[in-house]
């Protein structure tokens, strides 16, 4: 039996879902998750559902995060870099929190769900404990990964940032939309998406409403703007805010895993800010997807272009939901191959981590 410490980045629901899924897989194979640390910021709270399902009250530490504009929508890259440089003394304290927990529990392994502060912790404390990193963005350092031809500066920054945060990691597990070769001499392993196990028993229905998931609260106004001209279309939207019934056909929901799962299984299609996990869940259930990357969020931009290659969805630079409605008539994605890929995740990730 191995004893493991989790470190999770608090950015959207994806990393939390991955952590819960892997915790279940590890525990079903006789291993133990000792504790969970969450790299957070003042902008986001740990979702209640994560604490409930993890059955561990996480320890928070402040981690690098993006700065958003005044409308709480787009990411300001230069300001983000400058702010995080100024917060370096705070991050040193955060690294010491991680070290304190490692010393306390003495785990056999640390698994990092894409929190960049683990790089600083490793740099300062040089732990002998093996560290495994799990995230979709590790695809960007795979030598055979093909970036979209646009946004060359984004490509450069994203690749360099990923190389830095993955430096010295013992096992790099890249979650992928599709099968791809491992690069074992670089410790890069390709794994299917880590989706909630309950999703595999979920029936799929098609009711007359659209589901939306937005990362930043500011996009709420974009949804409302479109809705005012299309009040006949029912939308349920999940976001990092409070419950709010705008009117009889538009409802905003605070992040809630069970409720999101319910609406995902029944929606006609999904509109999302191109987070990896939500897109994969929609693909698995055979739901058409419209991906609208947060402006300045490199990873979401690449996610949307990469996912569109499967012909299972479209991408857009804004919330013109008319594009999705038009796309529904041409949606022909056969998700059986994708489902087989996802269902192989438990065995594959167990083999990678424990061997």
Residues 173, 207, single domain; the answer is: no
Residue 342 has pLDDT above 90, yes or no: yes
Residues 181, 214, single domain; the answer is: no
For 158-188, the pLDDT digits (tens) are 899 999 999 999 999 999 999 999 999 999 9
Residues 238, 261, single domain; the answer is: yes
Residues 280, 294, single domain; the answer is: yes
Taking the C-alpha atoms of residue 349 and residue 353, their distance in angstroms, rounded to an integer, is 6
Residues 314, 289, single domain; the answer is: yes
Measured between alpha carbons, how far is residue 6 from residues 17, 23, 59, 209, 277 in Å? 13, 9, 10, 37, 18
Q: Quick one: DSSP state of residue 183?
A: B
Residue 191's pLDDT band (boundaries 50, 70, 90)? very high
Query: Of the ranges 37-46, 213-222, 226-235, which is most confident?
Result: 226-235
Distant-in-sequence, close-in-space partners of 106: CB < 8 Å, separation ≥ 6: 3, 129
Length of the chain: 355
- What is the reported pLDDT for 79? 80
For 47-89, the pLDDT digits (tens) are 888 888 888 989 999 998 877 766 666 677 778 888 888 999 9
Residues 138, 284, single domain; the answer is: no
For 44-54, the pLDDT digits (tens) are 678 888 888 88
- What is the reported pLDDT for 43? 64
The phi and psi torsions of 275 (rounded to 5 degrees) equal -70, 140
Percent of the chain with pLDDT over 90: 61
- What is the reported pLDDT for 152? 85
Measured between alpha carbons, how far is residue 328 from residues 94, 200, 268, 280, 289 in Å? 46, 24, 9, 18, 9
Taking the C-alpha atoms of residue 39 and residue 34, their distance in angstroms, rounded to an integer, is 17
- What is the reported pLDDT for 116? 93
Residues 277, 182, single domain; the answer is: no
Residue 237's pLDDT band (boundaries 50, 70, 90)? very high
- What is the reported pLDDT for 77? 78
Residues 318, 243, single domain; the answer is: yes
For 85-128, the pLDDT digits (tens) are 899 999 999 999 999 999 999 999 999 999 999 999 999 999 99
Domains in the chain: how many in total? 2
Residues 46, 105, single domain; the answer is: yes
Range of 188's domain?
3-194+343-354
Average pLDDT along the chain: 90
- Overall average pLDDT of the 251-267 stretch: 91
Q: Are 107 and 34 in contact (CB under 8 A)?
A: yes
Residue 211 has pLDDT above 80, yes or no: yes
Residue 242 has pLDDT above 90, yes or no: no
Residue 293 has pLDDT above 70, yes or no: yes
Residues 171, 263, single domain; the answer is: no
Domain with residue 84: its CATH number is 3.40.50.2000
Residues 158, 231, single domain; the answer is: no
Residue 153 has pLDDT above 90, yes or no: no
Cα dihedral 83, 85, 89, 90 in deg (nearest 10): 40
Residues 79, 190, single domain; the answer is: yes
């Amino acid at each position: 039996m191995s004893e493991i410490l989790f470190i999770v980045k608090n950015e959207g629901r994806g990393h939390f879902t991955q952590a819960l899924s892997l915790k279940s897989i590890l525990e079903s194979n006789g291993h133990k998750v000792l504790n969970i640390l969450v790299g957070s910021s003042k902008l986001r709270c740990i979702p209640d559902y994560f604490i409930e399902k993890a059955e561990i009250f996480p320890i928070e530490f402040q981690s690098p995060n993006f700065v958003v504009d005044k409308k709480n929508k787009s990411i300001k890259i230069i300001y983000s870099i400058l702010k995080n440089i100024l917060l370096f003394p705070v991050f040193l304290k955060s690294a010491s929190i991680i070290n304190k927990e490692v010393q306390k529990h003495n785990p056999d392994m640390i698994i990092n769900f894409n929190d960049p502060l683990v790089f600083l912790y490793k740099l300062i404390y040089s732990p002998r404990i093996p560290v495994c990193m799990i995230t979709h963005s590790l695809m960007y350092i795979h030598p055979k990964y093909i970036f979209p031809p646009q946004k060359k500066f984004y490509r450069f920054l994203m690749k360099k940032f990923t190389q830095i945060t993955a430096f010295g990691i013992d096992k790099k597990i890249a979650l992928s939309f599709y099968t791809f070769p491992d690069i074992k001499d670089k410790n890069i392993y390709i794994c299917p998406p880590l989706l909630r196990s309950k999703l595999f028993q979920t029936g799929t229905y098609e009711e007359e409403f659209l589901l939306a998931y937005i990362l930043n609260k500011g996009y709420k106004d974009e949804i409302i703007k479109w809705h005012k001209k299309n009040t006949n279309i029912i939308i349920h939207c999940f976001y990092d805010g409070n419950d709010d019934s705008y009117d009889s056909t538009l409802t905003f929901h605070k992040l809630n895993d069970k409720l999101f799962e319910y609406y995902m299984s029944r929606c006609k299609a999904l509109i999302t800010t191109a987070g990896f996990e939500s897109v994969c869940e929609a693909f698995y259930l055979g739901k058409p997807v419209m991906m609208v990357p947060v402006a300045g969020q490199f990873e979401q931009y690449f996610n949307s272009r990469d996912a569109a290659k499967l012909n299972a969805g479209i991408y857009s630079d804004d919330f013109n939901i008319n594009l999705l409605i038009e796309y529904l008539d041409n949606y022909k994605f056969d998700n059986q191959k994708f489902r087989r890929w996802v269902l192989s995740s438990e065995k594959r990730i167990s083999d990678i981590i424990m061997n």
